[in-house]
Amino acid sequence: MIDTHCHIYTDAFDEDLPAVLDRAADAGLTDIIMPSIDLNSRAAMQRMYHDRLRFHPVAGIHPCDVKGPTDEIALWKWAGEDDVVAVGESGLDYYWSSEHISEQKASFRFHCRMARELDKPLIIHNRESTHDMLQILREEQDGRLRGVWHCFNGSVEEGLQAIDTGFHLGIGGVVTFKNAGVDKTVSMLPPDWMLLETDAPYLSPVPHRGKRNEPAYTALVAVKLSALFGKTLAEIDALTTETAKNLFRI
Ligand SMILES: [Zn+2]
């Protein structure tokens, strides 16, 4: 089982990191994909180690951290390193960061270009910006762009559009929330385009909602998907692991 979106390298885990990682391995995780927030994430990611888990860095600048011009040379150099499996997280966030929309769009397009040129998947963050996000992806798609819409919470139609543009759907704790409606939408989309994720330390699934999230809870998302699709947990694990391995080439 793979947590395809986890900020395990942040200080939210400083106090009990070894125990968190033991629980992740005990829950069946083998790999953790680590989207970055900014260039400072790199050093923190390099410190990650556990004897039963593999850690995969992702290079990018989070849209909420785009406040001006990006150091494009430093970012491109990092994203090109061999151990970096993807570009991101990039995208648009009109909820937390509505005053820097033009800078976010420019940064998002730069990340699309890096992903194409470096032949690595792109991890997308999208909040209240679905229309612009999908439009930019369609414009930037030249046949080489692939990736994942992390924390998918769109409509069935938007999910199908993303898939049609070459993007997978990252399914996290929100699918377990009552009244969010994401579970119903997800159940109408193809499971072979889905990836498991936590977005830890954020967005804990039920029954941990509101508390710190951690990679072991990937299994709770898998349990929810198995119920939605009428498959066994082992089938969901195998399907999503295969999809993640193919996308990230790990
Ligand atoms: Zn994230």
Question: Model confidence over 14-60: pLDDT tens digits?
Answer: 999 999 999 999 999 999 999 999 999 999 999 999 999 999 999 99
In the chain, where are the structural domains located?
2-248
| Ligand 1 center–CA 230 separation, angstroms | 29
| Ligand 1 center–CA 6 separation, angstroms | 7
Summarised one tens digit per residue, pLDDT across range 196-211 is 999 999 999 999 999 9
Rounded-to-integer distance, Cα 43 and Cα 23, Å: 24
| Ligand 1 center–CA 213 separation, angstroms | 12
Asked if the model's pLDDT at residue 99 lies above 90, the reply is no
| Ligand 1 center–CA 82 separation, angstroms | 21
| Ligand 1 center–CA 156 separation, angstroms | 22
Asked if the model's pLDDT at residue 68 lies above 80, the reply is no
Least confident piece of the model among 95-99, 114-118, 137-141: 95-99
| Ligand 1 center–CA 168 separation, angstroms | 15
Query: What pLDDT, on the 0 to 100 scale, is given for residue 98?
Result: 82
CATH code of the domain occupying 2-248: 3.20.20.140
Asked if the model's pLDDT at residue 69 lies above 80, the reply is no
| Ligand 1 center–CA 169 separation, angstroms | 14
Mean pLDDT of the chain: 96
pLDDT band of 150, cuts 50, 70, 90: very high
| Ligand 1 center–CA 3 separation, angstroms | 12
Query: What pLDDT, on the 0 to 100 scale, is given for residue 180?
Result: 82
| Ligand 1 center–CA 229 separation, angstroms | 26
Query: What pLDDT, on the 0 to 100 scale, is given for residue 67?
Result: 83
Rounded-to-integer distance, Cα 4 and Cα 194, Å: 10
Query: What pLDDT, on the 0 to 100 scale, is given for residue 80?
Result: 98
Summarised one tens digit per residue, pLDDT across range 122-143 is 999 999 999 999 999 999 999 9
| Ligand 1 center–CA 214 separation, angstroms | 13
| Ligand 1 center–CA 69 separation, angstroms | 21
| Ligand 1 center–CA 178 separation, angstroms | 22
Query: What pLDDT, on the 0 to 100 scale, is given for residue 70?
Result: 79
Asked if the model's pLDDT at residue 181 lies above 80, the reply is yes
